[in-house]
A = this chain, B = another copy of it.
């Protein structure tokens, strides 16, 4: 069925192929990827663009002895196909055999589980140092896209590599795109190098101390093989700058490169998505809200680190608000510091970021923002068991990470209306850095009136007054708590239900007052329990008679899980919570 690919079970099988056969193999790989991607979805553009380079690398180098590290691994599918995992692309029954990222548990050809950007050069530099410490002699190759170069860790790594007097090869896969368009001054230099066939007035890579090799057509197997042969076994660090076409070989992806960076399942004939999603989301709600604010107040601005559509800002809307919408590149540290500077000089910045990527800017949140008390608004997406489920992208660690930083106000809205009320307040006040944990349980609406002022910090809201037990249900677990309370009510048990609203502090007065008519408290949070919200309440009641039970997620690297199953196992269902309450009350 696949002319050449059927004969390829490991990189060894490439070595005897002719250039024409390698080209035919490229087509086979694209066909196999199209098979998986049209049915399963996944990263499209980066993988279609890197087919030839992957073939050429495996043709020239000897993996796994020679070690290739793929940055962010958005472009690792051809590598997986060539290293014994082709069934996961050609045969639907095997789709779940592989993750979407490089993964040492899958293959000896993968060295790291990678899903965050800009790490490859530093990780691979470590492999090179490890080789030198232990007397090895293999080639070490980092493959990094032009978009990923904007991340600080990548630039640090390149600078470090520039001083290594040893074999170290950085393949810069330049497709002139990040997820969206690139942002940053360096891209002017990359453009000049592309247009000057590798020659320009200045050169970022040689400025960082690297040797430099240019490949004009990074989708031409012959040119690539020649270049890789040149640098194989080199003894000083070198950048091989290859120019590739994102989405190469699949017309819709060549044309709309942003839309096809990652794509849902689609019709392989037309490219039309199998599902249409134009419905309401927290992205669309946020975008509508911010656009209205921006129109009325020129000092309001939104910041993204290369994921503009998270806040709903598609290309047309970015263009419409280009003076107030800033994409810093894949540079979360700069996004945070920039926001702090904007707030300090009179602007009203909102930085929207996925929980998992907010991890990349811990110190800037603490030092540049919280320590300086600048009124930055963070919108934290996908911070939930219902968020992304790949192990590299889990968003459940944010509460211990940032809620224990002094000075930050971290809010947990329970529905869309409360989310907008909190976001509106965060934006207009100028006393506190505020983070808002965007709900992830679908868009729940409420016709309740929500406060417009949250400046009385750590004020919890009693939404149902009962006795005996109190359920303190944080953020998007509120509805779960509400349903548990309803179940108990059906059984004649009126418990108290509380929306704490604030993650970063306790309403000690309210908690104290609960002691009068309650003997049990259950806390619910959509994040890891360790270091989180409920444990603070347990500690508050530690030397009292109040019984406290904390429900939340475990301190684990969850991977490709089913959220309902996880919640079921942890007793985070209305039924299990109601049973727990009864048990704590000896009913």
Contacts and interface: CB of A to CB of B under 8 A. Distances in A.
A360 to B, nearest CB: 4
Contacts of A233: none
A85 to B, nearest CB: 19
Contact of A202 (B184, B202, B391): B202
Interface in A499-524: 520
Interface stretch (A23-31, A366-374, A380-388, A437-445): A366-374
Contacts of A32: none
Interface in A149-167: 150-163
A185 B237 contact: yes
Interface in A304-341: 323-324, 326, 328-329, 331, 333-334, 336-341
A411 interface: no
Contacts of A127: 341-342, 344-345
Number of copies: 2
B401 A364 contact: no
B550 A542 contact: yes
Given A160-B183, A331-B160, A368-B112, A340 B188 contact: no
Interface residues of A, number: 123
A435 to B, nearest CB: 15
A104 B391 CA distance: 42
A115 B237 contact: no
Given A159-B186, A189-B208, 14 more contacts: A112-B340, A112-B368, A123-B337, A129-B341, A151-B152, A157-B338, A162-B186, A189-B207, A520-B543, A531-B535, A534-B539, A535-B538, A542-B548, A543-B547
Interface of A: 67, 104, 111-116, 119, 122-136, 150-163, 183-189, 201-204, 206-210, 237, 298-299, 301, 323-324, 326, 328-329, 331, 333-334, 336-347, 349, 359-360, 362-364, 366-368, 370-372, 391-392, 397, 400-401, 403-407, 520, 528-532, 534-536, 538-539, 541-544, 547-550, 555-557, 584
